[in-house]
């Protein structure tokens, strides 16, 4: 490797959490955070944020619009642990308590350019009818103490969940120096897709990355 060869590559992310579809709920807001591997580090931008509360409009009775901006740049030496974004949606229950309405996660697109992702959302469920009734009565429905667990998968197979709603995100992706470090990205992605996990077996040396 010559003295002019880069030691890291950059992943620049611009975009927004456009909105959501939760037919049964209104007056919702969202939070986001990024989850990434040990070889990754943010160099600028925000790793997490919280949106304004939004309500459904007359023209779109099932659609919630946030248009909440995302902007962050990462550096890394290894694609292993490619960043994911975790989105959590919250809103009031019958008694006015702030409760979680959905969790979801997706990997940041690998291919440079503009992309749209629609994430299916889910919530943890109580393991018994008694717990479910108690949670409803007290306004303390089950939720994760750390939303980042959504992106990790460990223990998820023993968590009872139910699906509800979708969140749509748009991204504009720019990468720098990936090819010079021996990595190539292929334009095999399509828009409006659900979560596509990045393969865990990345290593150096003229590899093709796709998702």
pLDDT tens digits, 76-129: 999 999 999 999 999 998 888 888 999 999 999 999 999 999 999 998 875 656
For residue 80, what pLDDT is reported?
94
Closest of 185, 135, 169 to residue 51, by C-alpha: 169
Whole-angstrom distance, CA of residue 76 vs CA of residue 38: 9
Confidence of residue 189 (pLDDT cuts 50, 70, 90): very low
> Is a pLDDT exceeding 70 seen at residue 161?
no
Average pLDDT of the segment spanning 150-179: 81
For residue 164, what pLDDT is reported?
87
For residue 193, what pLDDT is reported?
42
> Is a pLDDT exceeding 90 seen at residue 69?
yes
> Is a pLDDT exceeding 70 seen at residue 198?
no
Q: CB atoms < 10 A from the CB of 26, how many?
A: 15
Q: CB atoms < 10 A from the CB of 188, how many?
A: 11
DSSP at 37: -
| Angle formed at CA 34 by CA 114 and CA 162, multiple of 5 degrees | 95
Confidence of residue 142 (pLDDT cuts 50, 70, 90): low
Which domains does the chain carry?
Answer: 9-181 (2.60.40.150)
HEC string of 91-136 equals: EECCCCCEEEEEEEEEECCCCCEEEEEEEEEEEECCCCHHHHHHHH
């Amino acid at each position: 490797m010559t003295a002019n060869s880069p030691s890291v590559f950059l992943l620049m992310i611009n975009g927004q959490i456009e909105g959501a579809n939760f037919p049964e709920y209104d007056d919702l807001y969202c939070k986001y955070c990024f989850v990434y591997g040990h070889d990754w580090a943010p160099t600028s931008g925000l790793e997490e944020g919280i949106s304004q509360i939004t309500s459904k409009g007359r023209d779109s009775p099932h659609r919630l619009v946030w248009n909440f901006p995302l902007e962050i740049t990462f550096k890394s030496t290894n694609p292993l642990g490619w960043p994911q974004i975790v989105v959590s949606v919250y809103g009031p229950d019958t008694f006015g308590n702030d409760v979680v309405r959905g969790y979801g996660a997706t990997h940041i697109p690998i291919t440079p350019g503009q992309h749209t992702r629609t994430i299916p959302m889910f919530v943890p469920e109580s393991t018994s009818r008694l717990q479910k009734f108690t949670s409803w009565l007290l306004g303390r429905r089950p939720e994760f103490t750390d939303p980042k667990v959504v992106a990790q998968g460990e223990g998820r197979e023993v968590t009872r969940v139910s699906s509800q709603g979708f969140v749509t995100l748009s991204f504009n992706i720019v990468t720098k120096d990936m090819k010079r470090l021996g990595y190539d990205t292929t334009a095999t992605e399509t828009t409006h897709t659900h979560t596509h996990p990045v393969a865990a077996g990345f290593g150096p040396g003229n590899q093709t990355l796709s998702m």
